[in-house]
Structure 1
Amino acid sequence: MRISIIGSGYVGSVTAACFAALGHEVICIDIDEKKVSQINDGYPPVWEEGLEDLMQKHVGKNLIATSDYEYAVQNTDISFICVGTPSGNDGGIDLSIVGAASKSLGSAIASKSGYHVVVVKSTVVPGTTEDVVLPLIEEYSGRIAGEGFGVAMNPEFLREGRAVDDFMNPDKIVVGAIDERSGALVSELYRDVDCEITYTNPKTAEMIKYTNNSLLATKISFANEIGNICKKLGIDTYEVMNAVGKDFRLSPNFLNSGAGFGGSCFPKDVRALIGKAKEMDYYPSLLESVMEVNELQPLQMVELLQEKIPDLSGKTISVLGLAFKGNTDDIRESRSIPVIKKLLELGAEVKTYDPLASENMENVFDTITYCESSVESLRDADACLIMTEWDEFRDLDEAFSLMKGNLVIDGRHLIDPEALSTEIEYVGICW
């Protein structure tokens, strides 16, 4: 089938490349001409494992990019809205980019003779597809939904760093359509993907996405709350959660205690669902607590540091890991950010290293030292804070001997101090 993808961020780039890999003809639409050129040269605008290989393979064959909505719509049957939905000042999502994309799509559909399906893949609060996107397309196309064009909601469940594999090997595909025709056309795109499709309406599909992420975020904050209690009791929370996770009703996933969750999805989605609930005069106390625990969790790294080094003024602290998680360069809502901010407020000098995310973090902090390796970051440091679960941080051992001090505070349960040849004073955030 012929598909156009609006937006070239994580979701848009991965969706475009993976649909091309499934044999569809794909046109990426982006108003940023730099991104358009980059894609047409075979390079994705974002880093994601396996994504560049897919683009190199399919660009120029069945994958191209353009900034021309008219051209893209005229030459495709289905358009996916994959633009950003950033958080507003009140925690709710900003739908302005979704609205702009809907207007542009509507205008392009107006001059098209055939039927066209618009699919929302951006994460939007329940009601957005039918109450915002659909009316705008009707207004700007002059057509009636269900007659002149179709509408559906097809949420993504992609993990950054694993997005390509998640797309090609999903555990669920959800299609929420306004009618059977729209749903059938969207489903046809996934014909060669081995996964059952859940059919529903757009509002339910939107809620499935938010509920999915909110539940995972809740498991993480719950694990961290238990971990904080275990720490005070002298209990290994990982031993506790390993046993708890064997319960067939729970599973061990997302029960690892640590410095908290970040990224483009969990914090934003939980806040958006909180905001939507409050709009309807309901106070979601559990979700509020999930966010409260997550905001306070990384600061415990600094509190543990101050228990060992009360005066941090002039001390050199190595912060290992800037990305919100391993295998990505994304620093959005990274738990390193509040930690570094607090360290600077306390007068510490920060040296940091991340395999991929340093360049992005330079836009947030321009007064800290960005190192080319973990060894360089550790050299002459008074203490080390491990903030991101990069595998290479598991094997530092002798590098710790380069520190001036020997304090290592682990926020991701990466280090086994008993397996080290170098003597360190090891502290785990929750263990």
Structure 2
Amino acid sequence: MSTTNCKEEDDSYPLHECVFIGDVRKLSSLLRFNDVTRKDKHGNTALHLAVMLGRKECVQLLLAHSAPVKVKNLAGWSPLAEAISYGDRQTISSLVRKLKQQAREQMEVRRPDLIRALAQIQDFYMELKWDFHSWVPLVSRILPSDVCKIYKSGSGIRLDTTLVDFTDMKWERGDISFIFQGEKPPSESLTVLDNKAKVYQRVRYEETENEIEDEVDILMSSDILAAQMSTKGISFSRAQSGWIFREDRKETVAGLYRSDIYTITGLVLESRKRREHLSTDDLQKNKAIIESLTKGNTQNLDTNGEPTRRASLNPPPDSGVEWNMYISSPPGQYPGLGRELVYKESSRNFRATLAMSDDFPLSVDMLLNVLEVIAPFKHFAKLRQFVAMKLPKGFPVKIDIPILPTVTAKITFQKFDFRDDIPPELFIIPEDYIEDPLRFPDL
């Protein structure tokens, strides 16, 4: 391994350069007084480069200094995505562990403020109606709808829903309750009830080793996916009504909330997929493997009854790219450092409507705090991302948001009451419910 010294000028990227040339000793000394989160002109952190170049010692050193795992480069890929492409199992496992640790630490920092904010909101009951629809013929007929009921008491939130999960045009119906108890310790504060099966699952604060390794198997066996709702070019304009005498359109939503109607343009759902780490055999087996793992079935066991784990891939050939060549390339256009990409991207522009009302009793900031609690449900995470944008004046009582490239959800806030009589038993697990830690594999 090279021990060439790296430059330390302020306008250079000393951590990145040390990683590039494999100077572990110098990297270790520089980490004491350099920002491990800093991105270079391509949006890569030092951890991105360590992963792409297969510098395992550098990866472990950077993770020990809390290098961020979730951050994305200009192409929209995280260090974890690049690690999956490179295919070293130990590196992928290390990044998954650190990603979960960093998510827990961020939540712990945010938690006291969130609980304080919830406690300051007057107790209430609210109903949200979800209507899913698609521009694809016939698909809208089979898409689900749901009325979610949300109860807020003190620092507690309860969500009742019939839509358990909704991904890739598959959904699971049921009778589900999600309970957040802010006064309890983190490991006990989130619980999901299956009211039909009469079982409950605590949303685990930390995963077991087997669960981590199962997740690594899934990552190594499936496409690397990145999907995001891009709002760079978004604009809101008042919707108009009338043929000859045009005027700003208004509507009373749910028969209660007088609203100004806006047209949303420039909202783009971007979806990208990579599969250079998958063999032809993988692609044929892919669906069965993923379904098996996500259901908690590890069918392939070794002679000791332990699951057979996915092996590391052979490293990609050395790219031969030198530091100066990399750093002098135009932003985002550096030569490939790992496997040759097998890449597909798609984007879809959405035109939608938004109803903003001054009559709704809750503020947007209060709604964001409530949605942060129930973000483990993916469609609520999308709603929170949308509401967090700079919206026109008022409260968004009716919204269209893209959920998948072919599916949009219309969310209507159709009922809201401040209440002093929210029953405390709503936040207690019924005595006849049995704990099932595997009922909801994704939570």
TM-score, normalised by the number of residues in structure 2: 0.23
Larger radius of gyration: 2
TM-score scaled to structure 1, two decimals?
Answer: 0.24
Higher strand proportion (structure 1 or 2): 2
